[in-house]
Each structure stands twice: as C-alpha cells, then as structure tokens.
Amino acid sequence: MTARRVVVVGGVAGGMSTATRLRRLDETATITVVERSGHVSYANCGLPYFVGGVIEDEGDLLLQTPELLFSRFRLDVRVDTEVIDIDPAGHQVTTRSTLDGRTESIGYDKLVLSPGAAPVRPPLPGFDRVRVLRTVEDAERIAADVTGRPGTAVIIGAGFVGLETAENLVRQSIAVTVVEAVDQVLTPLDPELAILVAAELGAHGVTVETGVAVSEVTEGGITLADGRTIPGELVIGSIGVRPDVRLAEMAGLALSAQGGIAVDDVNRTSDDDIYAVGDAVEKEDWVGGGGSLIALANVANRQGRRVADHICGLPTRGAASLGTAIVKVFDLTAATTGWNEKRLRAAGRRYRAIHSHPMSHAGYYPGAEPMSLKLLFDPDDGTILGAQAVGREGVDKRIDVIATAITGGITADELADLELAYAPPFSSAKDPVNMLGYMAENVRSGACDVVGYDELGALTEEGWTVVDVRTDEEHAAGAIPGSVSIPLDELREDLHGATGPFVVYCEVGQRGHTATALLNELGFEARNLDGGYRTWIAADAARLQEPLRLVKRAL
C-alpha cells in the first residue's frame, strides 16, 4: 500500500491539530503543512497579551517550530509559503513562497483547509492606516507602535479581541477609546450583563462610545458619524472576522448561505477528498440547528482532530457548536454559552430568562466576589438555551458547567441535581449553578411567579404595587422609582394598607422570593422581580447608556 499523502493548508489551530493527530494515527503518511505567515502553531489568543507586555517574550507565543514538528512528528512544514491554487481533479495544490515567489506543485490524496478567517475591513476613508490583530506579525507591528509611546489609541469594535486589546493598551499607559456601532459592548451578552463590562472599562479609564459608527479614519484619529472626532495616534480595527473562503471558491467548493465553507458532519466539503475546519467553515448550531459562523479555537481544534480520525477510517461523530466563549476585561470575566435573549427573541423562540447574583464562594470565607448569572431555557421542556455570566471570580467554572449540561442534555431544572465540588474557598453548598436549577424549577412549576425587569413598567401601569423588601437603609441608598419600602421582616405585620397585586423586589431576588411566598400564603397576588434591584439597575443603566452609574455598586 502506498503512503497516504495529506496536505494541510494553514498551520495554526485547526490545521496543526489535524496534522499532529494524523501522524499519531498513521506513521507512514506524507503530511505537508503549508503556512503563509512566518510561524506555525502560534498562540493567536495570546497576541493581545504580547501587545500589553503580559507575555514579554515573543517566543512564548510560538508553541512549535517547523524544526520541532519535523523531529517529533515528521511533518513537512513550509512557512512563508501560501497555497495559491487547488486543482481538485488533478489532486494537487500550487504553492508560492512569500519570500522569493517560487512556485511548486504538491500532490495530495486528501487536502485539509484550515485557512482561518480574515479581519473585516470596511470601505471607510483612511481605513488603510488601521492596524488589525490576527497574526504574530500583526502583533509585532502593534507592539512596535506601542514602543513609540503613543498617548492615545482608538479601538474600533468592542468584541472579545477589541476589549482584550483595549485592556492591554491601557497597561501600556495609553488613553484608549473603544468605539462600537451597536449600542452595547460584547454583543454575545445581553445588554444588562454587557453594561457591567462597559462599567469595568470606564472604571479603568477607557472611554466607551457605543451606538455610533466611525465614518472616517484620519491622520490624528477617527471621525464619528455624528461629526465628533476622537484622537488616536494608534487605531486598531477589531470589527470581526469573515471566513477566508478564497481557496475554496477557487476550487469550486460549495459555500454556505452565511458565507463559510459548507461541510458535512465529518467536515468534508462538497469534494470528497477535501476537508475544511475552523473559522473558515460553517458549523451546525447547537441551539438552533441551522448554520452558524463560530470563530473559536476550541471548535477549530476539535474539528481538526475529527478530520484526522475520518481520514484514517476511525469512527467519528459530528458535534454541533454552542459558541462557548470567555473574556477577561481588567478584573472582570465575562462568559457565555448558547444563545442570548436578543437572539431567541429575534428568532421568535419561546424562552424564560432568570437572573441571579450569587457569591463566587461561601460569603463568610475571605475573597468571595459577587457575580451576575443569566440562564435562558425553554419553559415547556426545560431545555437550556443559553447562559451568560459576568464577575470577578468563578465565572469560568459556572459557564463551563452549564455548557457541559447543555451538551449532555441536562435540563434547567436538573441543574439543581448536579453534585458539584464544594468547600468554602471554592463554592457554596448550593452552588450558583444549583441555585439556577432551583429557580428554573420554581418558575416552571409555578411555585414562584417571577417578573422580568422589562415587564415591570406594564404591571405598574396596570396598578400593581412595587414593594421593596430590603432594609430601609438599602432602600434609601437607591430604589426603583415609585416603589414602597416594606422590609421583609415587617411584611407579615404591615402592608401599609396595600392590597396588591404586588411586585416584590430585594437586592438580588432571594428575599423577594421569600416575600412572594409569604404574600401568596397570606392570600395576595404577588410576583418576585427576577434578579432583584441589581438586575433592574443594570438594565436601567443599559437602557440609558450610563455604565458609570454602576461603577460604585457591587455587581
């Protein structure tokens, strides 16, 4: 039997996972990896931290070199070389050296495309002076700019990479403005959680301009659509990415409606001998079942391994993508999995949303930090549709547990049954994820009727009385306008003559739950405000675009 020839285009996340797994499965295969940039297997997720000086040595970003990959895996890795043409019928690719222009043909039995995604570059005047951050070379260019000690920088786009870059430029003592065309930062989050991230940026001196587009990039910065100018000696574009499908198009491969390379559940393209993985391909969406363009490292790596398995005849299983993602923004962590409420609403999907604000671990043990959690689920069958979390501690663990639960088909109510590790420095005996399960169970069973912050206005107009059951001091420090203060411990004795119906709230929803149960027992109609005052004030700050209102409050 002749040795199998596999050519991999793109030598980073998806491409290198494919190549190394292939070698472990097939010692005889001829495996060639072609990479346009000067580096393979580099940590693109670490690039913002190199710009900020957190990762001081560029070498730490380079996880492998062509030499090491040859000696350990016998991979023929060709850097500074791009694939410029594919001949599917003749089973060969044409490569060109980016250093001297020399071209070469390489034959393949199986071809794997992992060319990634290309940064979006809008056709704005002056955009050619905007830096992007995608490769090691991009990071080197920005790091060199930073060495010139610019006083100001503008980041266009408040997505994950834009905010990581903002933080890292602040670390370099640069005054940073982040401009985002939509009316919130981090669009994978819903507004009442995203506003917490905007507040964190503001607290660290970053100016955040949301809901306004950039109209021009000038010598000294940018001009906004509303005519204002913002100084920026350095301007970085972080507007998102588009699947890099140039090679696929050239080879006549089918593309998906959303513009990614179309693949089946083993990542085979419309040509049986060509696979595609990573940011360039459309994935099956876990929640909606349709196609989704998810550009995340975990997905690219999983797909790379799956393709190697399939090439080598191992049983493989397709896996849809949840889009689980996490980002550090100064001292805050924001994470998400599945769909957000905006997307569920736009899709007309039935859902319930619940919010909670638990401590990261037992409150009595030093260092406990509050976090904000949001769970979205199907009210009929309890299917978990998505979750979001923002906080300083323990956010990663909760979102990962929920992502695992979704993958395992565990319902929102069943989160209550998860037996999770507990000791005071790590969690509470009832972990925040368990608590979400209890809350979902209460909502679905009707044991506690809750009201979302966005339903409060309509109920007030209908004549419902809004009761704050926190202490008088808490009420005085800030309350929902028009609400009546009746502390929980006085509720049995004194209802100030009100007869209901009542919307009850406390700081985070827990005392409100007890108060609602009590009022129901006493024969009144009562509903608890989901997530309490903390969710309400975050939503209100998001509505009014006033993140700095939240800076002095705990989350």
Ligand X SMILES: Cc1cc2nc3c(=O)[nH]c(=O)nc-3n(C[C@H](O)[C@H](O)[C@H](O)COP(=O)(O)OP(=O)(O)OC[C@H]3O[C@@H](n4cnc5c(N)ncnc54)[C@H](O)[C@@H]3O)c2cc1C
Minimum CB–partner distance for residue 278 and ligand X (Å): 2
Span from 252-260, 273-281, 347-355, 530-538 in contact with ligand X (CB under 6 A): 273-281
Q: CA–CA distance from 222 to each of 121, 126, 154, 179 (Å)? A: 15, 9, 8, 10
Minimum CB–partner distance for residue 307 and ligand X (Å): 11
Q: Which of residues 66-95 bind ligand X (CB under 6 A)?
A: 82-83
Site track 116-145 with ligand X (rule: CB under 6 A), x = hit: x----------------xx-----------
DSSP codes of every residue in 399-418: HHHHHHHHHTT-BTGGGGG-
Minimum CB–partner distance for residue 232 and ligand X (Å): 19
Backbone angles phi, psi at 141, to 5 degrees: -65, -45
Cβ-based nearer residue to ligand X, 18 or 535: 18
Task: Round to whole Å and give the CA distance between 374 and 189.
Answer: 10
User: Contacting ligand X (CB under 6 A), which of 20, 30, 44, 337?
Assistant: 44
215 contacts: CB under 8 Å, gap ≥ 6: 124, 125, 223, 224, 225
201 contacts: CB under 8 Å, gap ≥ 6: 163, 166, 178, 185, 208, 329, 330, 547
Cβ-based nearer residue to ligand X, 303 or 535: 303
Minimum CB–partner distance for residue 48 and ligand X (Å): 6
CA angle 83, 89, 94 (to 5 degrees): 20
Q: Which amino acid is at 225?
A: A
Q: Is 360 in the site for ligand X (CB under 6 A)?
A: no
339 contacts: CB under 8 Å, gap ≥ 6: 287, 288, 347, 349, 376, 385, 386
Q: Is 52 in the site for ligand X (CB under 6 A)?
A: no
Minimum CB–partner distance for residue 263 and ligand X (Å): 12
Q: Is 200 in the site for ligand X (CB under 6 A)?
A: no
In angstroms, the first-to-last Cα distance of the chain is 64
Going by their DSSP bridges, the two strands 103-107 and 92-97 should be labelled as: antiparallel
Q: Is 391 in the site for ligand X (CB under 6 A)?
A: no
Binding residues with ligand X: total (CB under 6 A): 32
- Is residue 7 within 8 A of residue 78, CB to CB? The reply is no
List, in sequence order, every residue forming a beta bridge with 526; answer none if it has no partner: 502
User: Contacting ligand X (CB under 6 A), which of 180, 200, 209, 244?
Assistant: 244
User: Contacting ligand X (CB under 6 A), which of 9, 222, 353, 456?
Assistant: 9
Residue of minimal CB distance from ligand X?
Answer: 278
Span from 23-31, 110-118, 123-131, 498-506 in contact with ligand X (CB under 6 A): 110-118
Enumerate binding residues for ligand X (CB under 6 A): 9-10, 12-15, 34-37, 44-45, 47-48, 82-83, 114-116, 133-134, 161, 244, 247, 278-280, 295-298, 300
